[in-house]
């Protein structure tokens, strides 16, 4: 009994005598995965997990967590490894995933998740730097880079902490001291369930240090996209009822959510290009082109053009594509319907159009930053979603979010952007 692999296999065998889902040896299995990286897990352990999976009843609430964990751990084994399984999104409990349509509930869920994910980044970086954690030893950043990374993670977490009423003694002259206090406060206040979720949703494929932060940053953006999806759905419902004010407010909240999340890009930009290129050797097949939350967001604004719908952009997210083809409502259509029915006053139309333009500008800025980071990290290489890479992103940057949306909205703010909807849609 001398390796983490042996311990995991031993504990799994012991558990199979009892099979109570709450007693599953998550700690031992996760430790065995993290000791080598998911891409390198021994075939014997994967076979053991596969055998466990055969006996786990699907659809049983008591086994939900275990079934999700087995799906995540066995994705490469099954040959269905992709971006949602890489990020264990099913287990994260994204905003809206519980079926609740209330934007306030989704915003709270976003704050909670961002707080947990960013606190976990701080914990990982600081415990490694302090020598208390000896995981993922490849290409560790130096102290200067760790400091920079922690400052950006702090910027990303502080708005969520404020919304959640988590009070930390933030000292601008002592960011590292603040970072220590923040992660300890958030993780000390996490429920056992939340702590388990954090543990089971970080299964890097490699031992490259920076991959941990990258996974958490991707999960954080997924969280924001999912919350925005709830806001946009609420905007469509309001417009369909002919209520412009709540629709305008929901679009404003979507814009604010995306802008508030921008420190996540600064965090991602601290990734060492060498580190990225090393671990992406093992992430082939997992690309954020498969992000359901992003494509949902996009296709709630307007129906994608036929060319994009038939391209890898939407073929990589088949469920979303099907819903688009089935005619899911969009903000564009709901606005047209409200105008045609004479339900919007000119002032309401103007305010709504400005909110649409503001959100479009925020998306344009997100796309621009994404593109720049991809240029820096990836260069001329192909994407892991089997696109041309940067050229794909460059082309996608110009796709209007709303009909009549301005492809030159890049970087514009809501106050100075042209009102997108107002350009095209005039009262019938
Ligand atoms: C090192 C950093 C990153 C690089 C080099 C990168 C690169 C790429 C590339 C090349 C694509 C095109 C699809 C493909 O072939 O894979 C893509 C798509 C995408 N990425 Fe990233 N990405 C990075 C970080 C992120 C982050 C942090 C997010 C946040 C969720 C993200 C979200 C997306 C989304 C949503 C798409 C699909 C865009 C579309 O289909 O229009 N990426 N990325």
Q: Which of 100, 114, 428 is nearest to 263 (CA)?
A: 114
DSSP one-letter code for 208 = B
Separation of CA 412 and ligand 1 centre (Å): 22
Helices 244-260/210-240 angle, 10° precision:
170
Q: Which of 125, 297, 293, 113 is nearest to 220 (CA)?
A: 113
Domains of the chain: 4-80 (no CATH), 103-424 (1.20.58.480)
DSSP one-letter code for 57 = P
Using CA atoms, how far apart are residues 292 and 304, in angstroms rounded to an integer? 14
The helix/strand/coil state of 76 is: helix
At 405 the pLDDT is 59
Which stretches does DSSP call E strand in 186-278?
none
Which long-range contacts link 25-29 to residues 24+ away (Cβ below 8 Å)? 26/69, 26/196, 26/199, 26/200, 27/199, 28/4, 29/73
At 414 the pLDDT is 40
Using CA atoms, how far apart are residues 206 and 213, in angstroms rounded to an integer? 13
Q: Which residues of the chain are modeled with pLDDT < 50?
A: 1, 406-408, 410-428
For atom 31 of ligand 1, the residue with the nearest CA is 288
The pLDDT tens digits of the residues spanning 44-102 come to 999 999 999 999 998 899 999 999 999 999 999 999 999 999 999 999 999 999 999 99
Residue 412 CB: number of other CB atoms within 10 A? 18
Q: Which of 234, 116, 254 is nearest to 185 (CA)?
A: 116
3-state helix, strand, coil in the chain (%, to 5): 65, 0, 30
The neighbouring-strand residues paired with 13 are none
At 2 the pLDDT is 58
Residue 51 CB: number of other CB atoms within 10 A? 11
Ligand 1 within 6 A of CB of 385: yes
The helix/strand/coil state of 242 is: coil
Separation of CA 147 and ligand 1 centre (Å): 25
Q: Give the residue, out of 156, 288, 294, 386, with the most ligand 1 atoms within 8 A of its beta carbon, to mutate for a pocket test.
A: 288
Q: Which of 47, 80, 53 is nearest to 68 (CA)?
A: 53
Helices 103-130/244-260 angle, 10° precision:
0
DSSP one-letter code for 291 = -
pTM of the model: 0.94
Q: How far apart are the first and last CA of the chain?
A: 77
Using CA atoms, how far apart are residues 366 and 69, in angstroms rounded to an integer? 31
Separation of CA 365 and ligand 1 centre (Å): 14
């Amino acid at each position: 009994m001398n390796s983490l692999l042996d311990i995991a296999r031993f504990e799994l065998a012991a558990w199979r005598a009892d099979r109570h889902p709450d007693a599953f040896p998550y700690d031992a299995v996760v430790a065995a995965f993290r000791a080598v990286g998911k891409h390198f897990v021994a075939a014997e352990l994967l076979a053991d997990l596969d055998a466990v999976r055969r006996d786990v009843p699907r659809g049983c609430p008591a086994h939900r967590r275990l079934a999700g964990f087995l799906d995540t751990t066995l994705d490469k084994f099954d040959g269905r490894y992709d971006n949602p399984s890489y990020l264990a999104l099913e287990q994260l409990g994204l905003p809206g995933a519980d079926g609740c349509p209330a934007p306030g509930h989704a915003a709270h869920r976003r704050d909670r998740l961002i707080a947990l994910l960013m606190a976990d980044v701080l914990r990982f970086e600081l415990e490694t730097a302090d020598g208390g954690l000896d995981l993922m030893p490849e290409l560790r950043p130096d102290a200067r880079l760790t400091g920079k990374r922690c400052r950006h993670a702090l910027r990303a977490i502080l708005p969520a902490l404020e919304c959640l009423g988590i009070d930390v003694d933030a000292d601008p002259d002592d960011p590292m001291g603040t970072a220590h206090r923040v992660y300890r406060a958030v993780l000390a206040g996490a429920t056992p369930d939340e702590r388990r979720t954090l543990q089971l949703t970080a299964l890097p494929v490699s031992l490259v240090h920076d991959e941990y932060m990258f996974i958490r940053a991707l999960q954080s953006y997924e969280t924001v996209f999912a919350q925005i999806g709830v806001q946009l759905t609420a905007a469509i419902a309001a417009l369909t009822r002919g209520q412009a004010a709540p629709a305008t407010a929901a679009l404003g909240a979507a814009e604010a959510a995306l802008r508030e999340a921008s420190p996540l890009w600064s965090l991602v930009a601290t990734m060492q290009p060498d580190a990225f290129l090393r671990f992406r050797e093992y992430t082939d097949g997992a690309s954020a082109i498969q992000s359901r939350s992003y494509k949902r967001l996009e296709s709630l604004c307007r129906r994608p053009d036929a060319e994009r719908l038939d391209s890898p952009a939407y073929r990589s997210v088949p469920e979303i594509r099907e819903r688009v083809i089935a005619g899911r409502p969009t903000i564009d259509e709901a606005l047209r319907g409200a105008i045609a029915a004479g339900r919007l006053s000119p002032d309401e139309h103007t305010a709504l159009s400005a909110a649409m333009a503001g959100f479009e500008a925020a998306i344009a800025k997100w796309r621009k930053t994404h593109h720049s980071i991809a240029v820096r990290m990836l260069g001329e290489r192909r994407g892991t979603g089997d696109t041309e890479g940067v050229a794909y992103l460059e082309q996608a940057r110009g796709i209007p979010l709303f009909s009549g949306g301005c492809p030159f909205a890049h970087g514009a703010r809501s106050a100075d952007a042209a009102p997108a909807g107002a350009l095209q849609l005039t009262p019938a």
